[in-house]
Chains A and B, each alone.
Chain A
């Protein structure tokens, strides 16, 4: 029994996709992230967990510079994507976000057809030379988003007419249509029912083959189910970061233990 629990998961040593060092974030006077170092591995699902306001979403948003749009937000330290600083002056945030895609808590399809929802990104990034190529990109993204079979006969119907779970998978398909290398997901299942949640979790597991996925979730069980690495944030600090199996069976820090076992404090 112990052996199953304590066998170190034989995770292949994956390359580091994102290396964050000494990251500090301030919103005005509020010190939201305090000196966080994290390595996000390639082809791995990394979960960020922690109570509300612990900084996990803030940190996630640093990874594709979503905080740039908030005037009072100040980010310090370095975040390297494949060794290159994403906060370098020469980096175009739009290009960065094509590489580091994002899926949000509430499905937010554009008020356009299913087809155009997916085609939007590839069009602005000039990924297709003609309609045939674009069709191909759309189909591939919808297939990877595990929603192709459900929508292939109504690609011109509005994306907003789909069910919640379908909309979220459409948004995931939209995020991967631009062939990102990293996919950030901010509570992607919190607005979904259990079946749609299971479908998205299955999808996340499949995406791991090609992408580095970082997911913020309030559901500890979801973090345990989908991730290989887990980071626990508390009051802006990264308290503990390790293999998911270790974090959920034998965490080192008492704060992690209290949080994952649902204790006061």
Chain B
């Protein structure tokens, strides 16, 4: 992209984009640390994530203030307008992912006091690693203005949804097996749901990249693979015990 005649405008936009990348870096780390703390039962790391969310929130606020200032002063149009609009939405998505990570870290604080539930913590970590990778690619796509990579990120959300479906059923099974698992499984299920929501926020960020590069929203007919809203769970009346 060519430079603006008013070079201060370029500096404004570069400043805003540097801030969104910094925010993205913090959020990537928060996702990884939150789920690592869960898997390794590391309460100190969980505490770092909880405290770190304030910095993410502060960046969001500063980004929105800066975006408002640029709109007021520069009256951006076309690609410049789309940069500002996409940054405002992306910072909102990143802030939400930060909150969800913080929530995972809080639940980790409770879960370390209970028995681990099978290999679910490791599964959650794998799911989070996928989302973390999607976020990294979405931010790269933003910086490189790479629409194809953004579309790839959007398609990968289906895998995250499917992992969530699988975990949902696993938790149901654990709870049916032993009611003493219920408390832990409820917490773990919220964590799984949090990660699934993170995937949606990352998808929204990737959609912003498509909007930024093309001026259009990507097609709406993306496959939504989170089917648990329709799931009645394993059949409870097994009926073969001869009772």
Contact = CB atoms under 8 A, between A and B. Distances in A.
Interface string A222-265: 00100000000000000000000000111100001110111111
A221 B75 contact: yes
Contacts, number: 52
Interface string A157-194: 00000000000000000000000000000000000000
Interface in B1-50: 1-6, 9
A6 B217 contact: yes
Contacts of B80: 261
A38 interface: no
B135 to A, nearest CB: 21
Interface in B79-97: 79-82, 85, 89
Contacts of B5: 262-264
**Interface range, A side:** 20 to 34
A263 B1 contact: yes
Contact of B9 (A224, A257, A258, A262): A262
B3 A261 contact: no
B77 interface: yes
B215 interface: yes
Interface string B197-240: 00000000000000100011100000000000000000000000
Interface string B69-83: 000000111111110
22 contacts: A1-B85, A3-B217, A5-B85, A220-B77, A248-B77, A248-B78, A249-B215, A250-B82, A250-B215, A250-B216, A256-B78, A257-B78, A257-B79, A260-B77, A260-B78, A261-B78, A261-B79, A261-B80, A262-B9, A263-B2, A263-B3, A264-B5
Given A224-B77, A263-B2, A263-B4, 16 more contacts: A1-B89, A249-B77, A249-B78, A249-B81, A249-B82, A250-B78, A250-B82, A250-B215, A260-B77, A260-B78, A261-B80, A262-B4, A263-B1, A264-B3, A264-B5, A265-B2
Interface of B: 1-6, 9, 75-82, 85, 89, 211, 215-217
Interface of A: 1-3, 5-6, 220-221, 224, 248-251, 256-258, 260-265
